Chain A
Amino acid sequence: MSEYILDVTDVDKNFGGLRALSDINLRVKEGTVHAIIGPNGAGKSTLLNVIVGRLAPNRGRVLLGDQVLTGKEPHEINQLGVARVFQTPEIFPELSLLQNVMVPAFAKREGIFKMNFIKSLFSEKEVREHAEHLLDDVGLISQKDNIAGSMSRGDKRRLELAMCLGQQPKLFLLDEPTAGMARHDTNRTIDLLKRIKERGMTKVIIEHDMHVVFSLADRISVLAQGAIICEGTPEEVRNDPRVKEAYLGGESE
């Protein structure tokens, strides 16, 4: 077992003639928070899509611990322990909050497919209590019987966090978890994410909000035009001239 939980090696992704990712190498240590930042269109979401199996890379490979993720279906990758929150929350809008959290919890217990008309009626109570606990964690317990689709965007995002946390993933990918949240909600989410960090869950986080990045991340990678231009601790990245250039549009020229 390598010391890295996530190991992305030489990944290229092209869309037609457009090179969205080139030569991406990314290693994330177990139990750390790794932030990926970069201007719009830098390829941050594409990279996450490659990791979770939504997109197949043209070259390179992705490892989770010792297991190869490249070429697997999204549900298989999830079962290996990768959970993701999306930039626009992907929840079950017609179901209640409680049901939303129960579904992934069942997936964690049962695997890819299981017929259960009777047996898991017994485990259902356990799953429900677990789900209630998770909703309590993200501060949504008072609304547990409401329909998820009617919530505000910030609440949907927190619900999605609870859904992923219920699976206790080895690797948790967050695509702008605080976008569209009010300051107060953002701080609550940061607190929540810090608490998970204590539990030793590895996270890769894409974020625009530098307040969030610098209060959470152990390491930061900066992505620009499909390539990683700089990687290091928050202090190193903050002072790196290449980063300023990428963000401010080539002032030094």
Chain B
Amino acid sequence: MATIVEPTIFELSSPGRLGVTMPASDVPTTALPPKNLLRSELPLPELAEVDVVRHYTKLSKFNYGVDDGFYPLGSCTMKYNPKINEDTCRLPGFLYTHPLQPIETVQGNLVLMYELQEWLKEITGFEGMTLQPAAGAHGEFTGVLMMAAYHKSRGDAKRTKMLIPDAAHGTNPASAGMLGFSVVTIPSDARGNVDLKALEAACDDTVVGMMLTNPNTLGMFDEHIEEVIALVHKCGGLMYGDGANLNALLGIVRPGDLGFDVMHINLHKTFSVPHGGGGPGSGPVGVSERLLDFLPSPLVDIIEDGDDEMEPLYGFVTPKKSIGRMKAFHGHFGGGLVRAYTYISMHGPDGLKDISQYAVLNANYLQAKLRSTYTIPYDRICMHEFVAEGQFAGSDVRALDIAKRLMDYKFHPPTNYFPLIVHEALMIEPTETENKDTLDRFADALIKIAEEAKTQPELLHNAPLTTPFGRMDEVKAARELVLCCWLPENYETLT
């Protein structure tokens, strides 16, 4: 039997225990529906409030968040999440507005959405912006749907090929796959750029477009970005930008100016919306002029102009050839849009540029400190992240071991085994919200681990040793598929 460190909420249950209760009914009683429409049992836990609080508090201590320490997870932009965001997104005026209220009663929400749309357009250089997508992958799907709709509207049915570099996130091919497009992988060249010859060879009149992350997952800004975009445009394709790495570009360059046609933005990366242990995210999508009519519906717009005495009236509009609705209601308003709005309002143009400059400085500083110990396969000035090889000649230590050992030094590991084009990849993104001391300590830890790999490799193979839990048996999880738990036997059924 496995040791139970913390029982489940079901195991903690005791019949008859009460948590938060509701007031008695203040209306005359109506009989319940006939018994054949009612459930016969409700096997849910019974606990007191204190039981619940202690349980989840204990669980929280098994976690590691940005508030606990350095979290250099490449391509995830785990920056500090300002506390003020937590307060603004919980203002009663935002918390307690219903998504179907008449627009006249929610002008505050609509102004916020409209201004955020305009700000994101200005930051990215796009002509249009939807705030509806719920996350980055959802935004990608939105973007790919618009690309498909654009070609379809022109009667251009033969385009079925999506060009995707080998360094791309897995979501890119998956999004293209959802529309039934075939994926053509474009290799990277020796400097980490898109291989122009390979791209040129793949460009023909069957290309839907290209999905490019720039800077890419190697942390490299493509040195021929304008040529890449020109090639795709020349064959009639559209240029999709994966905005996962936008944290390197604020006030540095606008993807719209470079010629991208469509790009999603991860508000939970670049604009400080917390990751929440896996979500909710928020993935607005910007488009160039030719895709404006295809944006999802509805969009926020001014529907009645204001004048000296009257504020304009904000409301919803449906683009002419809209791909339709991506989710119910209006996007991740409270958790995503309000936090991002707060964050941008506190930065202004110069503050945004600082974010990217320091994100890039921190990455280059770490890269410089690690260069003599770890192989950096694409070694030039990087953007906000870089990729090192987590392996050493003559050693059986792997990137996974290094990642796990870092936990013993109280750091969250970098992303590992991604991108796929680097052996034993360690993808390191420090973000701008780390100080020099933290970066120095992290570099020292990685240098020390490299030494341990030579002298005490078993230490790395067995790591982590100082965390509350050790390495997991993932095969057992997949083989036995225990996906939920139940109340202990003999709980009371309903009467």
Q: Are both chains from one complex?
A: no
| Residues on B facing A (Cβ under 8 Å) | none
A interface, CB within 8 angstroms of B = none
